[in-house]
Structure formats: structure tokens, C-alpha cells
């Protein structure tokens, strides 16, 4: 038996192209794509986007940071695979709409009046009733009644009687079209306003990312996008008194330069603050210079109050330094460095030489207003009294906002940020406050100069706190630190302390106290301690702590440490008095304020040993120049997204709250009247459907409710 071509086609099944088309147009494929997009959106929300690469290395480690980078998880919404999924979702949903819309539209025109009488008896909602009027008259009467109730009606005459077919709620099926069309519109709008157009120009327009440095005017054309670019979103920084017409589009590995059909001139940047020092208003007075017409248009920008020109919206995004000039005073942190002054512009750099070591001073930022959160919950006195010496030392170290008072926000004045970069390109970032900061509201507390340092941008600043002397500067602290390195001055301070501490009638104790004081001061100065891992002498309270743990039994360690710290404080006080006498400053009074000052001097001298730079720079003066950061965006897809959102609302409302109902009434002759058989079909079985059918049956057929 030979198979026919029809049998052969039936056996071989659909072609590959048809199978792919069926897959693309299927609902399960669209739902799968939506699921992947949702997962990717969660990743893009949880994982901070477009952060410096070093932040991801610190968070995930070198291996996984590189793996996640290859998958573009740091720029999810502009990743090629995310854009590809969106494109496939648009294609799949469009095919689904095109395949089902003709069926839906055809179904909207049909009344299905050819249904058989026997089929009506199979419906869940059905009723039968004898009517007094003839089938034709009954059909016309019932049809008019249904039309009056908002139904669309069609009458059909048959040999055995009349069929009344009616329908209502057809908008339910239109909701399907609207909701699916909304997905297409939103995705198309997202693709237009996203990175798709920029990526297409990079793939097929020979545009590449610029990763170098230099003047914007010197960047080659292959890194620039034309002003006719249909969609983009970038940032532009404009300093007061200057103008710019080139925006920067951040890309993985660098930036693209976007030319604008106009330039933005910043006349004045305005910032207003609350009483706490927190900013409450950013505003920019700008002039838009149109390149085509030469027109100059003055505008005022505020946050959430953008302006628009030539289809490009300009938003007030933030503010930055516009090239302020600063004068820094170098404060030596080691004996090899002498004081000197440096002047520069924020964003610039200056070369430094530390003997054989070559450093570069990079001026990172200037902040005139700083609102810091100072304070913490009070420490438990009992726990503090029971802690060991090392625990007591550690509890004193840390960030500048680590205090024993409640949290509060206060403006602490200007600060300068800079980086010291070595010849290998490694850099640490520093943040120093210009004025001494009072860390709590205690009248006897001592203001501190805060010197911050961190190794990477992902870290928080750790602050060295230097107490301000009664004259409000660091002079006393710096002189004591220098004297501490001199053995002769240390011996003199010990003699002064012993002479003041030992009464004349107890001279036999002088030698013992002298030995203890000399040992404590030498340990603190790093003259007797061991070496750390980097080869530097162990000094400060760390050296004292190591000595106590290595030479004093644990049961006696707490009491011995208190005695040794008391002796150390006394000797250092004499060293302070010597330094002030040498500088021609008045001696410190023995009161509570001096005691607080000396406590912080001890801690600061101990912490200064670990300062990672040979010098620190304090801000002496500055000339502030402010700049505005504007976001410029051409977003033609926004209105498409708005339209899609409207369609989505209409579609969901229609599908959830509009019920499609179809009603049939078969009228067959019976004597002088007719026999009516009524049935109702609805797309959802609800209590409202039951009530509606009972109401229709009661009103149309005069049947008991």
C-alpha cells in the first residue's frame, strides 16, 4: 500500500520553521521570558549597579567579581542579553497578539445563534417557561427587552421556531488585546529609552568607549555620539561662569561623549540648608545657548523641576566642586619631613618627593558644609571596669563618630579630601577637617582635629583624633610627639615627674619610680618594644599592652596596668608642660579640662604611630567654585510607555471586572403560545452570574424567582 502525500505530510509533522513560530507565539514562552526578566531585575535591584570594580572585588573576591563582570551583572539593564530578552518578549507577545486578535475580533461579531435547542439544556444556567404569545411576537418582545438592558441581540427564524441570541461584556476579550499590547508598548518604550540605540551605534557605527583622560575637546570622534542621536541619558558637569555642550554617558570600562544641540551655561548655583546643616534646596540659574539659532534662553532648574529644549530634558541631578583653589599646610607625621605649603585646584595634582620615594598629591574634593553623626549609646561602666587593657584600648579607637553620647547631627565645618599616590599607582584617600570638632556636648570635652584615611572607596574613613590645645591648634601635640622621640627630653620629663610625685621624706622610693616611669615612657615611645610585621617599632599603648601580657601574671595584670597607665599619664603631662614652656606658652592648669586633654593626648600619640603617611595636610584656606551636575535625556519612548501603562490599566480592568455573557432563548410553538427555553453562558462562574440569571429569568419569562 502506497502512502498518499497527505498521509506523508501528516506523519512528518510540522516543519522546523512552523515549530519555532509556534514556540515564539506561545504563552509559555512569553511567561518564561517574563520570569527571566523578573529574576534579572531582582539582581539589578539587590546588586549595586555601575560601582567601581574594586568595590565588587572587595565584596565577592577576585574570582567571582570577574565572573559576575563577564555576565554583565554590574550593568544588568544595559546588558546585551537583557536587551535581547526584551526584544524576544516583544516579538513573542506581538506574535501572540497577531495570532489571537483575528479570532477575538471574529468572535465579537458572532452571536452563535445557530446553537441547537438540545445544547441549551446542558448549560448550568437554564430555565423553561410557557409564554402566552406566539414565537415571533415573543422573540421581538424579548429582543426589545434585552436591548433596553444593554444587550446586543440577534433574532433567527427557524422552521421549528425562533432563536433569540444576545451577548454582553465583549470588552472582556478586548482587555486581553489591551493587556498584551501594553507589554509590547512598555518593552518597546524601554528599549527606545534604554541602551539599545547606543549599543547599536557601538556595534554597527564604529563607536567605542573612551577610557582615557584629558580634555573633552581632544577626544576623537569615534568616542562621540552625534546630536541627532534619537535616545540617550547622560550627565554634564558645568562650573559657575562656564558652559558645556557635551554630556557623558557612563559605559562599562569608560564613557561615551554625547554632543548636544545647545550648550548650558551656569550663571549661579544655589544651595539652601536646614538648621542642622542638611541641604534642603538645590537650584541652578542657567542660560541655554541654542547652536542653530544663537538664541540665549534663561531658565531656573530645581530638583524635580526640569526644563526642556529641542526635545531634550535637563534635570538638576546634583552638585560638585567646580575647580576650587585650596591651600594646604603639610603637617609632618615623621621626623624626616619638614612643614611646607601646597596650593592646587580640586581635580588637579602636585608632585611630592619623600627622599627616594616619589608621591603625587591629588586634590579630590572640598566640602564647605559637613553634617556628621556624632554619638553612640553610653558604655556600661561595669563592663568597662572589668575589661582588660587591650579591650580598653580598642574601645577608644575607630571612626570619628565613636563617642559615649547620644547620636546627633551637627555641621562641623569645611573639609578637604586628597589622595597620596605612589610611583606604583597605589593610592590612599584622606579626608581632613579644617576646624577642631567637639565630639559631644560635655562642657569639659576637648575639640578634636579629625584626620581620616581609607585604603579603598568601599571602606569607611578611619580617623586619627588629635586634641586641640587651649590655643585651638595642634602645636602642643606636635611638640610633645617630637620630644617623645628624644631620649634626653624623656629623661628630663621622668625626673620632673618623680620630683613632683615623691615627697622629700620618701626619697628611697625615687629610684623605683624612676625605673618604672622610664620603662613606661620608653615603651610608649617605641624605644624598647619589639618590631611589627612591617619592621616598624611597636610603640604607643600597644607596646605597653604587649609588655604587660608578656611579663605580668594575668591575675595581677589589671591592677598593674592601671598603675602603669597612671605613671605614663603623669610623665606625659610633664612632657606637655616642657613643650609649652619651650614654645613660650602658658603652663596647663591641673583641672578637669586638662585631665580630659591629657587622656586624649595619650590616645592620639598612640594612634599616630599607625598613621600610614609621612605627612598629613590640613586645610589653611580655600576659594570655592561650585558646579552643577545636570542629567540630560532624550526619551522618545516615554510617551509610548505611558500609553502602554494606560492600556495595561484598561486591559486588567476589563479582564478582571468585565464578565462576558451570552444568552439564548429558544421559542418553540405550543398551542396558542410558545415554549421558551433560556440558557446563559459566562466566562467566570460567580454569585453575581447566578443572581443575574435569576433576575433575567424572572423578568423575561415571568418565572418565579
pLDDT tens for each residue of 624-657:
998 999 999 998 888 899 999 999 999 999 988 8
How many other C-beta atoms can be found within 10 angstroms of the C-beta atom of residue 183? 22
Cell numbers linked to 137: 411576537
Confidence of residue 703 (pLDDT cuts 50, 70, 90): very low
Sheet with strand 357-367: strands edge to edge? 349-354, 357-367, 415-421, 427-433, 448-454, 462-467
Q: What is the number of other CB atoms lying within 10 angstroms of the CB of residue 528? A: 17
Nearby residues of 291 by Cβ (< 8 Å), 6 or more positions away: 245, 261, 262, 263
**Region 422-431: what's the mean pLDDT?**
90
Work out the mean pLDDT of the chain and round it to a whole number.
84
CA atoms of 103 and 173, how far apart (whole Å): 10
For the ranges 88-92, 201-205, 293-297, 616-620, the lowest mean pLDDT is seen at 201-205
3-state secondary structure of 240: strand
150-209, pLDDT tens digit by residue?
Answer: 999 999 998 889 999 999 988 888 998 999 999 999 999 988 887 888 888 888 878 898
Where is average pLDDT lowest: 188-192, 203-207, 288-292, 348-352?
Answer: 203-207
> How sure is the predictor about 405, in pLDDT bands with cuts at 50, 70 and 90?
very low
Q: Region 355-384: what's the mean pLDDT?
A: 69
H/E stretch holding 414 reads none
Q: What is the structure's pLDDT at 633?
A: 93
What pLDDT, on the 0 to 100 scale, is given for residue 662?
92
Per-residue pLDDT, 353:
78
Strands of the sheet with 162-168, listed across from one edge = 125-131, 673-682, 661-670, 162-168, 152-157
Q: For 392, how many CA atoms within 13 A lie in the half-sphere containing its CB?
A: 18
Q: What is the pTM of this model?
A: 0.65
Residue 409, pLDDT > 50, answer yes
To the nearest 10°, the Cα dihedral for 25, 29, 34, 38?
-160
Q: What average pLDDT does range 568-585 have in this prediction? A: 90
pLDDT of 382 over the 60 cut: no
Integer Cα distance of 401 and 201 in angstroms: 49
The per-residue pLDDT for 238 is 93
* 382 vs 682, higher pLDDT: 682
Residue-wise pLDDT for 109-138, tens only, equals 888 888 988 899 889 899 988 888 898 999
Do 132 and 676 form a contact (C-beta atoms < 8 A)?
A: no
What confidence score (pLDDT) does residue 383 get? Answer: 42
Task: Give me the phi and psi of 164, to 5 degrees please.
Answer: -105, 110
pLDDT above 70: percentage of residues in the chain:
89
**pLDDT band (50, 70, 90) for residue 387:** very low
Q: Who has greater pLDDT, 210 or 55?
A: 210
> Span 276-293, mean pLDDT?
86
Q: What is the pLDDT of residues 484-502, one digit of tens each?
A: 888 899 899 888 988 888 7
- What integer is the mean pLDDT of 339-350? 91
Gap between the Cα atoms of 632 and 486, Å rounded: 61
What confidence tens digit (pLDDT) does each residue in 513-539 have? 888 888 888 888 887 766 666 667 788
- Three-state SS for 196? helix
CA nearest neighbour of 574 among 644, 520, 612, 622 = 520
Mean predicted confidence (pLDDT) in 35-61: 86
Q: What is the mean pLDDT of residues 659-685?
A: 89
Amino acid at each position: 500500500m502506497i502512502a498518499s502525500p497527505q498521509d506523508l505530510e501528516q506523519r512528518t509533522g510540522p516543519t522546523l520553521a512552523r515549530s519555532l513560530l509556534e514556540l515564539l507565539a506561545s504563552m509559555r514562552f512569553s511567561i518564561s521570558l517574563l520570569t527571566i526578566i523578573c529574576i534579572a531585575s531582582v539582581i539589578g535591584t539587590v546588586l549595586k549597579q555601575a560601582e567601581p570594580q574594586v568595590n565588587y572585588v572587595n565584596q565577592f573576591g577576585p574570582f567571582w567579581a570577574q565572573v559576575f563582570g563577564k555576565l554583565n551583572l554590574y550593568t544588568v539593564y544595559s546588558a546585551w542579553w537583557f536587551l535581547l530578552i526584551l526584544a524576544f518578549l516583544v516579538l513573542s507577545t506581538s506574535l501572540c497578539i497577531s495570532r489571537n486578535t483575528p479570532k477575538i475580533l471574529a468572535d465579537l461579531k458572532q452571536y452563535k445563534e445557530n446553537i441547537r435547542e438540545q445544547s441549551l439544556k446542558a448549560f448550568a444556567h437554564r430555565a423553561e417557561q410557557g409564554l402566552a404569545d406566539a414565537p415571533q411576537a415573543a422573540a421581538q418582545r424579548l429582543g426589545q427587552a434585552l436591548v433596553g438592558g444593554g444587550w446586543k441581540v440577534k433574532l433567527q427564524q427557524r422552521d421549528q421556531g425562533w432563536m433569540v441570541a444576545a451577548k454582553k461584556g465583549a470588552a472582556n476579550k478586548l482587555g486581553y488585546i489591551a493587556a498584551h499590547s501594553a507589554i509590547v508598548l512598555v518593552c518597546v518604550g524601554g528599549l527606545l529609552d534604554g541602551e539599545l540605540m547606543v549599543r547599536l551605534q557601538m556595534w554597527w557605527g564604529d563607536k567605542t568607549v573612551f577610557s582615557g583622560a584629558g580634555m573633552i575637546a581632544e577626544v576623537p570622534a569615534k568616542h562621540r555620539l552625534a546630536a541627532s542621536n534619537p535616545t540617550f541619558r547622560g550627565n554634564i558637569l558645568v562650573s559657575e561662569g562656564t558652559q558645556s555642550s557635551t554630556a557623558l554617558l557612563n559605559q562599562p570600562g569608560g564613557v561615551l561623549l554625547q554632543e548636544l544641540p545647545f550648550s548650558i551655561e551656569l550663571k549661579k548655583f544655589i544651595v539652601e540648608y536646614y538648621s542642622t546643616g542638611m541641604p534642603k534646596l538645590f537650584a541652578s540659574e542657567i542660560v541655554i545657548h541654542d547652536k542653530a539659532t544663537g538664541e540665549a534662553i534663561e531658565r531656573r532648574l530645581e530638583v524635580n523641576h526640569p526644563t526642556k529644549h529641542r526635545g531634550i530634558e535637563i534635570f538638576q541631578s546634583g552638585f560638585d566642586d567646580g575647580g576650587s583653589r585650596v591651600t594646604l599646610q603639610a603637617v609632618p607625621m615623621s621626623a624626616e619631613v619638614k612643614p611646607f605649603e601646597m596650593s592646587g585646584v580640586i581635580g588637579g595634582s602636585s608632585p611630592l618627593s619623600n627622599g627616594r620615594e616619589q608621591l603625587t598629591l591629588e586634590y579630590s574634593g572640598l566640602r564647605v558644609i559637613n553634617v556628621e553623626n556624632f554619638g553612640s549609646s553610653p558604655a556600661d561602666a561595669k563592663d568597662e571596669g572589668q575589661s582588660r587593657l587591650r579591650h580598653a584600648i580598642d574601645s577608644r579607637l575607630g571612626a570619628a563618630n565613636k563617642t559615649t553620647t547620644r547620636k546627633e547631627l551637627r555641621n562641623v565645618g569645611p573639609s578637604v579630601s586628597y589622595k597620596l599616590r605612589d610611583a606604583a599607582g597605589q593610592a590612599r584617600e584622606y579626608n581632613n577637617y579644617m576646624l577642631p570638632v567637639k565630639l559631644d556636648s560635655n562642657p569639659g570635652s576637648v575639640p578634636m582635629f579629625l584626620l581620616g584615611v581609607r585604603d579603598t572607596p568601599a571602606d569607611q574613613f578611619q580617623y586619627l583624633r588629635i586634641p586641640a590645645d587651649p590655643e585651638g591648634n595642634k602645636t602642643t601635640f606636635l611638640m610633645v610627639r617630637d620630644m617623645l622621640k628624644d631620649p634626653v627630653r624623656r629623661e628630663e620629663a621622668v625626673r620632673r615627674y618623680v620630683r613632683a610625685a615623691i615627697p622629700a621624706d620618701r626619697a628611697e622610693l625615687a629610684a623605683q619610680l624612676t625605673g618604672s616611669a622610664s620603662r613606661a615612657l620608653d615603651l610608649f615611645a617605641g624605644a624598647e618594644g619589639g618590631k611589627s610585621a612591617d619592621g616598624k617599632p611597636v610603640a604607643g599603648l600597644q607596646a605597653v599592652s604587649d609588655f604587660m601580657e608578656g611579663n605580668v601574671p594575668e591575675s595581677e595584670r589589671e591592677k598593674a596596668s592601671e598603675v602603669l597607665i597612671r605613671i605614663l599619664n603623669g610623665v606625659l603631662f610633664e612632657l606637655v608642660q616642657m613643650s609649652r614652656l619651650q614654645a613660650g606658652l602658658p603652663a596647663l592648669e591641673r583641672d578637669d579640662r586638662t585631665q580630659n586633654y591629657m587622656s586624649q593626648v595619650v590616645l592620639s600619640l598612640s594612634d599616630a604611630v599607625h598613621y600610614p603617611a609621612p605627612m598629613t595636610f590640613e586645610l589653611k584656606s580655600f576659594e570655592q567654585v561650585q558646579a552643577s551636575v545636570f542629567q540630560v535625556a532624550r526619551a522618545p519612548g516615554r510617551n509610548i510607555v505611558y500609553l502602554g501603562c494606560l492600556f495595561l490599566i484598561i486591559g486588567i480592568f476589563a479582564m478582571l471586572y468585565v464578565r462576558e455573557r451570552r444568552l439564548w432563548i429558544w421559542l418553540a410553538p405550543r398551542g396558542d403560545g410558545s415554549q421558551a427555553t433560556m440558557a446563559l453562558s459566562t466566562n467566570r462562574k460567580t454569585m453575581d452570574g447566578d443572581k443575574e440569571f435569576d433576575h433575567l429569568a424572572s423578568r423575561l419569562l415571568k418565572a418565579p424567582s
